[in-house]
């Protein structure tokens, strides 16, 4: 069973990523030690897509290095 979007957001925030508000339907998260923006689409209660899980996992791993 895939995690929900809100679970991925929680993982990002726990790792130190901050939400950057802006226009549009995507949520953008930034981290001072990560050179890219992590962008998530979808409503909080929806199931996360596999590519979103991979993106979040890789971003968190890269920050921990």
pLDDT band at 62 (very low <50, low <70, confident <90, very high): very high
Residue range 8-55, pLDDT digits in tens:
999 999 999 999 998 888 999 999 999 999 999 999 999 999 999 999
Alpha-carbon distances of 8 from 26, 45, 48, 59, rounded to whole Å: 13, 11, 8, 11
Query: Would you state the pLDDT for residue 7?
Result: 98
SS3 (DSSP) at 28: strand
Query: Would you state the pLDDT for residue 3?
Result: 97
What is the per-residue burial (b if ≥16 Cβ within 10 Å, else e) of 34-55? beeebebebeeeeebeeebeeb
Query: Would you state the pLDDT for residue 65?
Result: 84
């Amino acid at each position: 069973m895939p995690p929900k979007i809100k679970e991925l957001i929680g993982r990002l925030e726990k790792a130190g990523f901050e939400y950057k508000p802006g226009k549009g339907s995507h949520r953008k998260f930034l981290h001072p030690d990560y050179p890219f923006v992590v962008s998530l689409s979808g409503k909080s209660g929806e199931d996360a897509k596999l590519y979103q899980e991979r993106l979040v996992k890789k971003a968190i791993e890269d920050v921990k290095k």
